[in-house]
């Protein structure tokens, strides 16, 4: 594992590259029109007609930008409500609803279909009635949540998948209840993809997706908190593992997989080598000047204080026997097919810069820990309680 000193040197170097303009930065409340002059993108050997379902949310805009830079022709189909006409004049916009009318696809053919938003299996069928015989490649963005067993480090794509609960009809589940059965519904959606496109599918199972535009604050909490400086509550043991992938790395690799017509199933998470919670936090600190100091608080004590992993202490899951493999999924197959990862410093700096442009109400929710993370007040309470316990034990 990379030493902290070496990791910080690497992060600082990448942060310096940001300042010199060698690495493009995303900013703004909306996805930025990134200038690619400083870091040119080569054109693909062959231009493809790509249909993207969704395309204006989190990873979708990055797929669009990268595909256009590579010389592909892009068509979006969505309700045109998340960011109406965001790519107007640059892509073809079709209006459709995965949970309703997708007839705008009738009579159309595409080299590649990229399915970003599907949660319900019925959505796969809704597209397949038009695309089953009209595309050469269907790429389905699934999730590592299809794996019910997180106890084994290094588990790969052959690990067992989440079964449906008894009596649940996956084709009648309302979207409002989808989160409750997320892993099982994604599993059935994968099976639908395999059935409708048996020799033409790629299933990508990302872990935690992070970076600019991530409204969940699951990673954003840490750059924002560390940039405030002071004493920072750091969860668990410094050596606890973490895994995540920058949305841009995921998006760009997805387009390259389309270009190379790579089929199969792949875990898409990073980084390329094991990363600890300490390396992540110190790596984020390296791109700030706030002088934050970390106080490590054991998982057992956080549990007593009702501080939840993943939700309150984002990114982090303590590696108990039950979750020893949660942040140690194998990404070897994806790396072998060209998945690459930008430095943590780049992800952290871009996320922090983007966060500072968000609307006041979103920043207020972040400060309150309403979506991910905890408030400054709650953090101070837990730190005080931990210090009191340590003092009493001396």
pLDDT tens profile 298-329: 999 999 999 999 999 999 999 999 999 999 99
Query: DSSP assignment, residue 207?
Result: -
Give 300: exposed, middle or buried? Use CB within 10 Å, 0-12, 13-18, 19+.
exposed
Which strand ranges, in their side-by-side order, compose the sheet holding 270-276? Answer: 209-210, 241-246, 270-276
Q: Would you place residue 22 in the very low, low, confident or very high pLDDT band (cuts 50, 70, 90)?
A: very low
User: How far is 278 from 302, CA to CA, in rounded Å?
Assistant: 17
Distances (CA, A) of 131 to 51, 53, 55, 102, 179: 10, 12, 18, 11, 27
pLDDT tens profile 342-371: 999 999 999 999 999 999 999 999 999 999
pLDDT tens profile 79-138: 999 889 999 999 999 999 999 999 999 999 999 999 999 999 999 999 999 999 999 999
User: How far is 221 from 312, CA to CA, in rounded Å?
Assistant: 9
User: How far is 8 from 6, CA to CA, in rounded Å?
Assistant: 5
CA 143, 148, 152, 157 torsion-angle sign: negative
User: How far is 170 from 37, CA to CA, in rounded Å?
Assistant: 47
Q: What is the percent of the chain where pLDDT is above 90? A: 87
Predicted local distance difference test score (pLDDT) of residue 40 = 63
Phi, psi for 306 (deg, rounded to 5): 60, 35
Catalogue all structural domains in the chain, each as residue range(s) with its CATH number.
41-206 (3.40.50.720)
User: How far is 165 from 293, CA to CA, in rounded Å?
Assistant: 45
According to DSSP, the residues that pair with 72 across neighbouring strands are: none
Helix-then-strand count for the chain, H and E: 12, 12
- What 3-state DSSP class applies to 274? strand
Predicted local distance difference test score (pLDDT) of residue 88 = 95
DSSP output for 318-384: ---GGGTTTT----HHHHHTT-----HHHHHHHHHHHHTTS-HHHHHHHHHTSSSS--HHHHHHHHH
**Is residue 169 over pLDDT 80?**
yes
Q: How high does pLDDT run on average in the chain?
A: 90
Q: Would you place residue 48 in the very low, low, confident or very high pLDDT band (cuts 50, 70, 90)?
A: very high
């Amino acid at each position: 594992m990379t030493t902290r000193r070496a990791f910080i040197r690497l992060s600082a170097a990448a942060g310096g590259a940001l300042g010199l303009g060698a690495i493009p930065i995303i900013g703004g409340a909306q996805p930025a029109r990134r200038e690619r002059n400083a870091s040119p993108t080569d054109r693909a050997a062959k231009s493809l007609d790509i249909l993207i379902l969704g395309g204006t949310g989190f990873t979708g805009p990055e797929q669009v930008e990268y595909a256009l830079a590579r010389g592909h022709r892009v068509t979006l189909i969505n309700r045109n409500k998340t960011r109406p006409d965001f790519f107007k004049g640059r892509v073809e916009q079709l209006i459709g609803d995965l949970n309703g009318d997708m007839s705008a696809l009738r009579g159309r053919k595409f080299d590649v279909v990229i399915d970003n938003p599907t949660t319900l299996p019925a959505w796969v069928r809704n597209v397949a009635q038009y695309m089953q015989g009209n595309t050469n490649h269907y790429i389905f963005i699934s999730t590592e949540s299809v794996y019910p067993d997180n106890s084994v480090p290094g588990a790969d794509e052959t690990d067992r998948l989440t079964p449906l609960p008894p009596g649940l009809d996956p084709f009648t589940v309302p979207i409002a209840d989808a989160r409750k059965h997320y892993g099982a519904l994604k599993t059935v959606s994968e099976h639908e993809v395999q059935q409708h496109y048996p020799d033409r599918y790629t299933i990508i199972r990302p872990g935690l997706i992070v970076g600019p535009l991530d409204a969940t604050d699951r990673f954003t909490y840490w750059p924002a908190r560390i940039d405030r400086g002071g004493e920072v509550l750091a969860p668990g043991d410094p050596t606890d593992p973490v895994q995540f992938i920058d949305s841009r790395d995921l998006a760009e690799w997805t387009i390259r997989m389309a270009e190379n017509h790579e089929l199969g199933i792949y875990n898409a998470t990073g980084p390329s080598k094991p990363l600890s919670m300490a390396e992540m936090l110190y790596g984020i600190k390296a791109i700030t000047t706030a002088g934050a100091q970390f106080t490590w608080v054991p998982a057992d004590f956080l549990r007593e204080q009702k501080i939840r992993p993943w939700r309150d202490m984002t990114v982090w899951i303590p590696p108990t026997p039950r979750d020893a493999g949660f942040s140690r999924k194998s990404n070897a197959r994806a790396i072998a097919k060209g998945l690459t990862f930008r430095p943590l410093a780049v992800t952290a700096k871009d996320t922090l810069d983007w966060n500072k442009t968000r609307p006041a109400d979103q920043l207020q929710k972040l400060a309150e820990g309403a979506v991910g993370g905890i408030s400054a007040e709650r953090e101070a309470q837990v730190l005080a309680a931990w210090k009191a316990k340590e003092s009493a034990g001396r």
